[in-house]
A and B are shown apart, each in its own frame.
Chain A
Amino acid sequence: MFILAAFLTAVFAGFFGAIVGLGGGVLIIPMLTLLLKVDIRYAIAASLVSIVASSSGAAASYLQDRLTNLRIGVLLEVGTVTGALIGFLISGYLQSAWLFFMFGIFLMTSAVLTFRRSGDSSAQTNHPWAVRLNLSGSFRDQTGVLQAYNVAAVPLGLSLMFLAGILSALLGIGSGILKILAMDNAMKLPTKVSSATSNFMIGVTATGSAGAYFLRGDVRPEIVGPVTIGIIVGSFFGAKAMIKLPAQTIRKLFVVVLLIVGVQMMYRGWSDL
């Protein structure tokens, strides 16, 4: 019974996560904890493993699209994975109630950020580290013209990735939205490059804490199995449906859902205190 319920929940989370581009983790944790009464620590660990599976499976596609900047990805993984380890250590000292609170705040912030679409702002010059590590790159835009780009504020980008890694480990999310914001706004990368590079990095970031949670005993295979398979199935159909559905309407609806679920998560945290 539990396996089927968790599977259907994950299909739903994966489907809507793919349509709005936030990933399955954002929905699966509230659904597992609020609907199926799963302890939030198990839900976080299950979500992280499903992120590892989705990202590892799709990494080849991210690279082939020529938008992913491999060198930036590898460098920023230094920040995200270190953050993930710190996040894991912090999680040992936090009560579940605080995790619910933090997740609620994260959901409400994501709801606002979903509508925030900043235009591309390019860097005029490369940061010295970008020159040293040869980080600048180019991609073909929609018209097929090759667009070169510079990379700014590498140390700031690394610091923000460290924070994204902490949040990923604490809340069981990919932190994609934060990674993209950091690369767009701090490092001045084109949005398409930020999105592709963020997707490429998410799996390694999640492994940093998922491995630790696994050996601590938070990863329950009876939860992870149906959640991982369900999210992959749901995301597959969500990505296909996204083309046919009115994305803007769904996005608005989703923002309302995120706000409501965010309040519910915070209420649950309050009740558990």
Chain B
Amino acid sequence: MKSEVDVEASISKVLRWGVLMALLFLIVGMIWQIATAERIAIESYSQYTPTPPFEVWNQLSGSGLTSQSFLYLGLITLLLLPLLRVILTAILFYWRREWMMALAATFVTVALIVGFALGWTHP
């Protein structure tokens, strides 16, 4: 039977492809922005005006694919990969009947989900 580190390394190798895909989305989004002359002045981000993704989603809906669609797709993929990793780690420990370690990994999974929820509910 493979050691738990070997299984985890295999999981991480698969997730590395996910990271590459996310980076590809980000690069496409960036190039699109530059190519369509969506010029952004250097001082555009000196004022803090939070823009939740749901607002962006509402603005984008109906306007088809834009550079923002690719950028957000890349971001969402990137942020979901570690969540996927801890879920798979929890499953790995449950499968091996390592209850305490499975509990730790489950706690981390739940905490990450709570993190997303906090961002949603704490503007």
Interface on A for B, CB 8 Å cutoff?
Answer: 1-5, 7, 36-39, 41-42, 49, 52-53, 55-57, 59-60, 62-64, 66, 68, 70-71, 74-75, 77-78, 81-82, 84-85, 88-89, 92, 96, 132-133, 203-204, 206-226, 228-229, 232
Contacts and interface: CB of A to CB of B under 8 A. Distances in A.
Closest 3 CB pairs of A and B: A215-B119, A217-B50, A221-B71
Interface string B1-43: 0001100110011011011101100110110011000011111
Interface size class of B (residues with CB under 8 A): 35 or more
B75 A221 contact: yes
B118 A57 contact: no
Nearest to A7: B30
Contacts of A75: 101, 104
B8 A229 contact: no
30 contacts: A1-B41, A3-B33, A3-B34, A4-B34, A36-B45, A39-B45, A39-B46, A52-B82, A55-B82, A56-B15, A56-B81, A60-B15, A60-B16, A70-B8, A77-B104, A78-B107, A132-B100, A206-B82, A208-B115, A211-B79, A211-B115, A216-B119, A216-B123, A217-B52, A217-B123, A221-B72, A222-B45, A228-B78, A229-B23, A229-B27
Given A39-B48, A225-B74, A211 B13 contact: no
B119 A57 contact: no
Contacts of B44: 2, 222
A76 to B, nearest CB: 9
A207 B89 contact: no
A220 B51 contact: yes
What DSSP secondary structure best describes chain B's contact surface? helix
Interface string B70-94: 0110110011011101100100010
Contacts of B12: 56, 59-60, 62-63
A56 B84 CA distance: 11
Contact of A49 (B9, B27, B79, B105): B79
B16 A224 contact: no
A2 B22 CA distance: 21
B47 interface: yes
Contacts of B51: 217, 220
Given A38-B46, A217-B55, A232-B23, A56 B82 contact: yes
A210 B77 CA distance: 13
Nearest to B9: A63
Contacts of A89: 118, 122
B112 A92 contact: no
A232 B19 CA distance: 11
A214 B45 contact: no
A66 to B, nearest CB: 7
B17 to A, nearest CB: 10
B2 to A, nearest CB: 12
Contacts of A5: 42
Contacts of A206: 82
B79 A210 contact: yes
A117 B46 CA distance: 39
A211 B19 contact: no
Given A39-B48, A70-B8, A218-B50, 10 more contacts: A1-B42, A63-B5, A63-B8, A85-B114, A89-B122, A133-B100, A203-B82, A221-B29, A222-B45, A228-B23
Contacts of A74: 86, 89, 93, 101, 104-105, 108
A120 B123 CA distance: 45
Q: Name the residue in A208, A211, A220 with the highest tally of chain B Cβ atoms < 10 Å from its Cβ.
A: A211
B25 to A, nearest CB: 9
A204 to B, nearest CB: 5
